[in-house]
Amino acid sequence: MAILGIDEVGRGPLAGPLVVGAVILPESRPEWVDELKDSKKLSVKKREVLNELIVKECATGLGFVFVDELDRIGISAALRKATSLAVKSVQELHRPFSQIVIDGKVNFLAGTALEKYVSTAPKADALIKEVSAASIIAKVARDRYMYELSAKYPEYGFESHVGYGTAKHLVAIRELGICPEHRKSFEPIKSMIGFDGPTRNVVKNTTVIGQKGEQVVVNYLEKNGHRIVSQNFKTKFCEIDIVSVLNDKIYFTEVKYRKSDFRGGGFEAVDFKKQKKMQFAAESFLKFKKEFSEFSPLLAAAEVTGEDFCVKDWFCLD
């Protein structure tokens, strides 16, 4: 009976998903199997070639846990979930196996019906071909995700460090703050932003309300001819809720929500100090988004009120 090899990629980065690969090799054991080794020991080109062969000729599965969920449940639970997802994908192909080998010392299937089939082995990705194959497909899948992410957030250099805490990446985080793909529960980001864990109801509810208010303003701006070019652009000192373009001007909008007008509107929170932070964030945005360098930057504020989330006002602060 066959071995199901399992390996993970992305346990330690500061950004991007955790990915687990699972592979059963063909019974015929084609010649290219001898070329399998720890994905970190292969060139990018060789990984891509082997990945295509593995995906085409083997029973494979991938399990992704993305940043928001990883921050919410923690890395240990994320490893268990990603492993279960990868194994489930292989099981759906109805390829029998008699043993599961997981790289490392931890059985991420402990407590499941498959626990009794699992062996753990440090360096298994270098010693057992099935685990080597799992490490390759997980690495290629995650790298591709990060390369695509680099087009969305080019200022962070994801195409080179794929989310790991390199010196270049840390400098970008300190200068720009974080983007939505950064792991808020990982140091040094956790300390920088004062992350308290989104499982607390007050944090969760505030986030949901804020996102709903921002989306209402996005719809309002688009209806009035704006093109949205970014949302939730973060620097160390400030986050710009919405960046939009209209004609030859680029607007940096702060969104404020109030359930009612009983205690006044939300604009009083956009004081001079807040505007200075917004200005810094706007300058950082334009520094790295060269395509907007010819646009005239303007700070703006939007107020959303009521349980039905209506845009009460939007205007320039300059």
Report the top-level CATH class of 201-316.
Answer: alpha beta
Domain boundaries, given as residue ranges, for the chain: 3-150, 201-316
167-194 pLDDT, tens digit per residue, is 999 989 888 889 999 999 999 888 877 7
State mean pLDDT over 34-43.
Answer: 94
- Give yes or no for a contact between 227 and 245, defined as CB atoms under 8 angstroms apart: yes
274 by Cβ neighbours in 10 Å (0-12 / 13-18 / 19+) ranks as: middle
45 by Cβ neighbours in 10 Å (0-12 / 13-18 / 19+) ranks as: exposed
Convert 111-122 into a string of H (helix), E (strand) and C (coil): CCCCHHHEEEEC
- Give yes or no for a contact between 133 and 125, defined as CB atoms under 8 angstroms apart: no
Report the top-level CATH class of 3-150.
Answer: alpha beta
Q: Residues 288, 303, 69, 201: is their CA dihedral positive or negative? A: positive
pLDDT score of 276 more than 90: no
Question: Residue 263: what pLDDT?
Answer: 40
Q: Which ranges of the chain would DSSP assign to H, the alpha helix?
A: 44-57, 67-73, 75-91, 124-127, 129-152, 158-161, 167-176, 189-193, 201-223, 272-288
108-167 pLDDT, tens digit per residue, is 999 999 999 999 999 999 999 999 999 999 999 999 999 999 999 999 999 999 999 999
| DSSP-assigned letter for residue 123 | T
